[in-house]
Structure 1
Amino acid sequence: MVICSADSMASSGSSGGSSKVWIAHGIVLGAAVVAGAYAAFYLRWSGGFRTRVVGIIPARFASSRFEGKPLVQILGKPMIQRTWERSKLATTLDHVVVATDDERIAECCRSFGADVIMTSESCRNGTERCNEALQKLVKKYDVVVNIQGDEPLIEPEIIDGVVKALQGAPDAVFSTAVTSLKPEDGADTNRVKCIVDNHGYAIYFSRGLIPYNKSGKVNPKFPYLLHLGIQSYDSKFLRIYPDLPPTPLQLEEDLEQLKVLENGYKMKVIKVDHDAHGVDTPRTSRRSKP
């Protein structure tokens, strides 16, 4: 934990405001480390074979960038239905449900046969919504797959891939997928970038271009990686996740994956050949239509 004292900050010419910011970040990170240590102990103690798998599609109506996104029509079907239908084709999923806080989405999903779990409006992200839905399911599951509702063309093989990656990595509590980043998307903050180590574990995620070279430009020869929204969790870790306090990098980048990494957990990453069709704004929705 890094905490700069007022004296040391003053001697280096920094302002008192900067000192307070670093102290606050240090306190947050310290609390996260303590919570993470407890969570790691709990996970080791409880064990598990990760055989039972549920796919959860978190969906909310309110969105600052695209209100009502799950219900937008794509070739005659709402986007949430297309995502659900694609998810049902994955062979590793024992069950698929939609988790939402909006009755309009729930009614739509029930109309095409999907199971729906109602969740609270207080969920801060899709992971917390998946956790609440998991607690309300009657059956118990070892692995939870968070399937983004704005990926109507998600390939079932990718869902199976992240599940198998987590099942094959007992030292990881989280798995996700990446694909090649198009050079023209390097500056797009809606396209989250990822870097991994030589063993296939995540090092960092960012809305900015990573790695960033001295020229400050995209290197067309470098294999940049684009993070795909799908991710799977050990269900025991998912129950712990909401209790881990927010971390500095997570807050700065507004990326929930960073809270996992900052707490010292391992995240397995698989690379797939996939042309991402995620819908972030009404503009990209129109662009994605054939």
Structure 2
Amino acid sequence: MSMCSSCSSGPSSTKAWIVHGIVAGTAIAAAIGGGAYLVRYRKFRSRVVGIIPARYASSRFEGKPLVNILGKPMIQRTWERAKLATTLDHIGTERCHEALHKLDKTYDVVVNIQGDEPLIEPEIIDGIVRSLQAAPDAVFSTAVTSLKPEDAFDPNRVKCVVDNQGYAIYFSRGLIPYNKLGKVNPQFPYLLHLGIQSYDAKFLKIYPELQPTPLQLEEDLEQLKVLENGYKMKVIKVDHEAHGVDVPEDVEKIENLMREQNLS
């Protein structure tokens, strides 16, 4: 079963995709490391920290991390949601690489949690962490969801294609795959990349030293620098509708959603 074939909607579907990704990764790990790896599974990449990048000087929305959402700053809302994840040992704010140097403990996995996603689902955080823990040949993990047809040609909606083992093949701002008719195929399960991602901490120290790559520069996507340098990236599919805050008008939308979901 492919990691990114079509799926049904609902919370149980999200959990099913996450479990499938972990099982697939564990199978690969067994092939690489044998039974000894599986015995040590719980200890592999077990120390996990979540980092919430918070940039005040956003070009589209200055001061965005501190914007009030139903009585609390958005950065606090995101932090509170992230705290519900069961795989995180610690959560902080700042740039991932910089924050890693400032922490007084050593961590194996660093999760980059977007600060403008105050409704992030903790199950997604746990899912990408566990998929990375189960895939020792990967240095990076991320999540995708189904792409809406109206977003097919939106360059701000990053698309992704994966292989049959759930590893990323490519990311693009354009529609991928792109058929010869130049039209959206309503039967094809296109994938939308979600901003959340986790890294092996050792790789995160190497990443800033890697030179920019042609595909990365052309698409303006940092994930491509990882792939172009030959590193592997694990991908899980989840049933999730992204509700980010990009512009001031998004705040009211988020607050209305929170009221509908009875989230105080």
The bucket for the TM-score relative to the shorter chain is 0.7 to 0.9
Output the CA distance in 1 between the equivalents of 2:61 and 2:177. Answer: 30
Cα RMSD for the two superposed structures:
1.3
The 2-side partners of 1:50 and 1:233 are apart by 10
**Of 95, 108, 127, the match for 1:161:** 127
Equivalent runs, 1:57-76 vs 2, <5 Å? 57-76=52-71
Residue among 194, 211, 225 paired with 1:228: 194
CA distance in 1, matches of 2:179, 2:251: 32
**Per-residue displacement from partner, 1:33-86 (whole Å, max 9, x unpaired)?**
xxxxxxxxxxxxxxx921100000011111222222212222222211111000
Q: CA separation in 2, counterparts of 1:222 and 1:87?
A: 32
Residue by residue, what CA displacement relative to the aligned partner does 1:240-279 show, whole Å, maximum 9, x if unpaired?
1001011111111111111100100000000001111122
Q: Secondary structure of the residue that 2:53 maps to in structure 1?
A: strand
Q: Which residue of structure 1 lines up, in the alignment, with residue 244 of structure 2?
A: 278
- What aligned pairs does 1:59-208 form with structure 2 within 5 A after superposition? 59-99=54-94, 129-208=95-174
Q: Which amino acid aligns with 1:58?
A: P
What residue is the counterpart of 1:18 in the other structure? none
Count of aligned pairs between the two proteins: 214
| Separation in 2, partners of 1:184, 1:207 | 14
Corresponding residue SS for 1:81 = helix
Write the letter of the residue equivalent to 1:279: V
Name the % identity: 82
- Find the aligned partners of 1:233 and 1:150 in 2 and give their Cα distance: 20
Q: Partner of 1:209: helix, strand, or coil? A: coil
TM-score by length of 2: 0.78
Question: For 2:170 and 2:247, how far apart are their aligned partners in 1?
Answer: 25
- Cα 1:284–1:213 shift into 2, 3 Å: farther
Unpaired segments ≥5 residues, structure 2: 1-42, 257-264
Aligned residue type for 1:49: F
Q: Structure 1: which amino acid aligns with 2:48?
A: V
Classify the secondary structure of the residue corresponding to 1:59: coil
Matched, 1:268 2:263: no
Q: Deviations over 1:202-231 (max 9, x none)?
A: 011111111111222222221111111110
Please say which structure displays the higher CA radius of gyration.
1
Task: Look up the SS of the partner of 1:238 in the other structure.
Answer: helix
The separation in 2 between residues aligned to 1:168 and 1:255, in whole angstroms, is 25
Over 6 Å off, 4+ runs = none
Could you say what secondary structure the match of 2:80 adopts? Answer: helix
Larger relative CO (CA 8 A, sep 6+): 1 or 2?
Answer: 2
Residue 189 and residue 217 in structure 1: after superposition, are their counterparts in 2 closer, same or farther (change >3 A)?
A: same
Partners of 1:222 and 1:182 in 2: CA distance: 11
Which of 52, 55, 63 is 2:50 aligned to?
55
2:101 partner amino acid: Q
1:190 and 1:280 in contact (8 A); partners too: no
